[in-house]
Amino acid sequence: MKNRCIKLTLAYDGTDFAGWQRQKDARSVQEELERALSKMHGHSITVIGAGRTDSGVHARGQSA
């Protein structure tokens, strides 16, 4: 499958997350987004954020 780059502009409530970046033993926004997109499209999708948030921090207008 050919790789494609697509810009996403995101907003999320980070209350229940350990931040943006994927972490071994914690729930992250990146991991949940990758899981949802992969399920929708039927193949593995990797998301790379243009920035990160810390645990419990909300975001509006974050690019990935």
Catalytic residues: 54
Exposed/middle/buried for residue 61 (C-beta within 10 Å: 0-12, 13-18, 19+): exposed
Task: Measure the CA–CA gap between 38 and 32, rounded to whole angstroms.
Answer: 10
Q: Which residues pair with 60 in a beta bridge?
A: 11
